[in-house]
Amino acid sequence: MLGTIGKPAAAIALAIALISLVLLALGASPAGVFIALWQGAFGNWIAFTDSLVKATPLVFTGLAIAVAFSAALWNIGADGQLVIGAIAAGAVGPFLEGWPRPLALSVVLLVGALGGAGWSGICGYLRARRNTNEVISTIMLNFVAAQILSWTVHGPLMETSRAYPESMPIASSAEMYMFAPPTRLNAGMLLALLLAVAIFFFLFRSAAGFQLRAMGKNRRAANFFGIPIASITIWTMALSGALAGLGGAVQIAAINHRLYEKVSPGWGFEAIAIALVARLNPLAIVAAAIFFGALDNGSQAMQRAEGVSPVLVQVIQAMVILILLAFDTSAWGNIRDAIARGRATQAPSEAAADA
Amino acid sequence: MLEAFLTSTIAMATPILLAALGELLVEETGIINIGIEGAMLAGAFFALSGVYFTGSVAIGLMCGIGAAIAINAMLGALVINLAVNQVVAGTALDILAAGITGVFYRRFFGITGKAFIVTPLRAIGLGPLARVPILGPMLFDQSPLVYFAFLLVPVIGWMMRRTRYGLRLRAAGERPEAADALGLHVYSLRWQALIVSGALTGVAGAFLTVAYANTFVENISAGRGFVALAVVILGRRNAWGLAAASILFGAAMALQFGLQALGTAIPYQLFLALPYALTLFVLAFVGGQSSDPSALGVPYSRS
């Protein structure tokens, strides 16, 4: 257990050390940057709750990545799936005025999940039936989704005065339950937590989850043992997209309340870092998402205080992934063996003595 | 109008072609480089910075090439020597490049408001040929980097299919164990492909800033590296096919600008989305998957 927490913590520490060097090169004060980050993320009650709000879409997309990656389906398209979910929610939301809130909210979340599932389902179907590489297909659909969003807010969903590239607001009955105004704590975070638990049990305690993970370990062997890899591929991708799409719908229902030209600042890619830090464990994803959400939240304060671009957070994220990858690989064992073999050939007598 | 469209098509095709030729080499040795988008972006930013701070295009190009090679070297250390997942490592490098270029860009130019502009690398007209109507400007009045990209097509095509070295590279991607057993150094071959590919991707990025836009905006590569991944498949892993596929994408991008300028009723987003949708369509329904190197994306552990 120490190893599972220790490695990500060490990776984050090493990333912070490397970032400090970058900051020094830029002529900024590392201490000032990290203090500003901390203040912006956890400095007061509003900052703290906003970090949780920022973490919410990351939990959804992180779970989406965990599900797909567990099956060795490399879904790089959670961003596009989230966007399609948001578009679906934003398109339906304005028409639900007067509906009872539980119903209206359910409809908005459902169409969001279905939108995301349909979008990733395309890639799952193409992988299963046409052997189309899902890495490329999901990346391509990210771009297509971004253009669809831009088109809808300039075209069919544009607000009626037609002055701004944004949609009409969703009906008040379709807005997410807020817990403690003026903070933006909302039921979306609760939903994310419940889903993390549900996905944990699905992946690690259910027969379908076992088949999914078996396929992820070895697709050919899974097929040999009668696991229906074609249908698991399609359903896994659809589930992954549904989670991302739901994240988009929650963002619309809880925070944005309408569509703008940009929904996601790259949550679908950040999610890859999160899922990796959490080692594809849905419960750990919640913790990792809060860490990354706090970084995002703190980055604005960091910019104000130290004049460092908030995209520095992307550098931190990338470094955490790269360092974890380097730590985690089994290849170190091979390299040790190779070195050992090299020594053995140099000094056969010693090797013989060891044996 | 037609002349401008054709000239623009070739210019838009150039960075895609350069990156795709590099990606072809890498993929033939068994690596899929998702980090190519990041390498191109890093090349674009550092090439422009080099020109901006030294005034020399040659130094700028070197900076761009160096930055892209650095990104590819990180990928190489991870996926060749440490045998980690290529997709995850590549994605991380894309995020890293977007972050680093963004941080440096805003640190140096975002606050001061200085214009980050250089004199463009000028087109070189090839004498009277450049004045041939319609085809002249497209073929003979382009940036030197355009000529470089298209001259590489026969060179790389010949190298991959007709030389012993090309055969070795392909062996590393088809049957790494067999190649290893025959005494080829699989790691070394993959490293060589990654370095050359980094150089080409760096030139591709440099083209965007130094020869085309003459400035930098965040995420200027705008998915062209990902398009290059698609071009390799669409061009059926053949250098000439890559050139044709790159021109097709170049045309789609040029068309979108042309139609936006004309102000048609068709939403311009359709044309922005078109190349990506087209890629997906071609991948799914025209195929080309069967020609993938057998060991593409599979880490090779020498044990």
What confidence tens digit (pLDDT) does each residue in A192-216 have?
A: 999 999 999 999 999 999 999 999 9
Domain ranges, residue A97 = 51-285
The whole-angstrom separation of Cα A71 and Cα A137 is 17
Query: Looking at the complex, does the CB of residue A143 fall below 8 Å from at least one CB of chain B?
Result: yes
B78 neighbourhood in chain A, CB within 8 Å: 322, 325-326
Cα torsion angle, A219, A220, A223, A225, sign = negative
B294: exposed, middle or buried (Cβ count in 10 Å: 0-12, 13-18, 19+): exposed
Alpha-carbon gap, residue B50 to B33, rounded angstroms:
25
| Domain edges within chain B | 2-117+152-291
Q: Is residue A342 part of a domain?
A: no
* CB-CB under 8 Å, A28 with B270: no
Report the pLDDT value the prediction gives residue B59, as an integer from 0 to 100: 95
pLDDT tens sequence across A262-318: 899 889 988 988 998 888 999 999 999 999 999 999 988 888 888 788 888 888 888
Least confident of A53-57, A176-180, B187-191: A176-180
Chain A: closest CA distance from residue B57 (Å): 24
Give me the CATH topology for the region B2-117+152-291: ABC transporter involved in vitamin B12 uptake, BtuC (1.10.3470)
| CA-based nearest distance B274→chain A, Å | 8
pTM of the model: 0.87
Give the model's confidence band at A63: pLDDT under 50 very low, under 70 low, under 90 confident, else very high: very high
> Does A13 lie at the interface with B, CB-CB under 8 angstroms?
no
Q: What pLDDT does B153 receive?
A: 97
The pair phi, psi for residue B264, each rounded to 5°, is -75, 165
B125 touches chain A (CB under 8 A): no
Check residue A338 and give its pLDDT: 59
How far is it, in rounded angstroms, from Cα A153 to Cα A157?
A: 5
B217 touches chain A (CB under 8 A): no
Four-residue CA torsion sign, B9, B288, B223, B90: negative
Q: Residue B139: pLDDT band by 50, 70, 90 thresholds?
A: confident
Reply yes or no on whether the pLDDT at B137 is more than 90.
Answer: no
pLDDT at B62 over 60: yes
pLDDT of amino acid A334: 57
Residue A347 has pLDDT above 70, yes or no: no
Structure confidence at residue B18 (pLDDT): 97
pLDDT score of B222 more than 90:
no
Does the beta carbon of A332 lie under 8 angstroms from any beta carbon of chain B? yes
A325 occurs within a structural domain: no
Structural domains in chain A (count):
1
B2 touches chain A (CB under 8 A): no
pLDDT confidence of residue A11: 78
In a domain, A138, yes or no: yes
Nearest CA in chain A to B97: A315
Chain A hits for B102, Cβ within 8 Å: 309, 311, 314
Residue A340: its pLDDT value, please? 64
> Would A22 be classed as within a structural domain?
no
ipTM of the complex: 0.84
Q: Give residue A241's pLDDT band: very low, low, confident or very high (50, 70, 90).
A: very high
**Which tens digit of pLDDT belongs to each residue from A133-160?**
898 899 999 989 999 999 999 989 999 8
Contact flag B83-A331 (C-beta cutoff 8 Å): yes
Query: In this complex, is the C-beta atom of A24 within 8 Å of any C-beta atom belonging to chain B?
Result: no
Question: What letter represents residue B223's amino acid?
Answer: G
Contacts of A76 in chain B (CB under 8 A): 34, 87, 91
The first and second tokens of residue B175, run together, are 């049957």
B266 and chain A: CB distance < 8 Å anywhere?
A: no
CA distance A294 to A297: 5
Residue A348 has pLDDT above 50, yes or no: no
Of B93, B98, B302, the CB nearest to A311: B98
Highest averaged pLDDT of the listed ranges A50-59, B233-242, B248-257: A50-59
The pLDDT assigned to A1 comes to 45
For B64-114, give the DSSP string.
HHHHHHHHHHHHHIIIIIS---HHHHHHHHHHHHHHHHHHHHIIIIITT--
Which B residues in the span 25-44 are in contact with A, Cβ-Cβ below 8 Å?
32, 34
Confidence category of residue A252, pLDDT binned at 50, 70, 90: very high
Q: Between residues 278 and 297 of chain A, which touch chain B (CB distance below 8 Å)?
A: none
Question: Which of A221-225, A345-349, B39-43, B113-117 has the least mean pLDDT?
Answer: A345-349
Q: Is the pLDDT of residue B151 over 90?
A: yes
Residue of B nearest to A276 (CA): B88
pLDDT at A335 > cutoff 70: no
A137 within 8 A of A148, measured Cβ to Cβ: no
Q: Chain A partners of B217 at a C-beta cutoff of 8 Å?
A: none
Q: Amino acid letter at A119?
A: W
pLDDT at A337: 62
Distance CA B214, CA A95 (A): 47
**Exposed/middle/buried for A7, CB within 10 Å: 0-12, 13-18, 19+?**
middle
Lowest mean pLDDT among A245-259, B207-221, B259-273: B259-273
Of residues B112 and A174, more confidence is placed in: A174
Is the Cβ of B161 closer than 8 Å to some Cβ of chain A? no
Token digits of residue B159: 């190298």
By the 8 A CB rule, do B18 and B149 touch? yes
What is the Cα Rg of chain B in Å?
Answer: 19
Q: Tell me, yes or no, if B112 comes closer than 8 A to chain A by beta carbon.
A: no
Query: Percent of chain A scored above 70 by pLDDT?
Result: 91
Residue A350 has pLDDT above 60, yes or no: no
Task: Tell me the percentage of chain B whose pLDDT exceeds 90.
Answer: 50
Which range in A330-339, B121-130, B224-233 is most confidently predicted, on average pLDDT? B224-233
Contact B269 A154 (CB under 8 A): yes
Whether residue A4 lies inside any domain: the answer is no
What SS3 class is residue B215?
strand
Interface contact A119, partner B, CB < 8 A:
no
Q: What confidence score (pLDDT) does residue B126 get?
A: 76
CA dist B263 and A86 (Å) reads: 29
User: What residues 185-224 of chain A have any CB closer than 8 A to a CB of chain B?
Assistant: none
Q: Which carries the bigger pLDDT value, residue A339 or residue B163?
A: B163
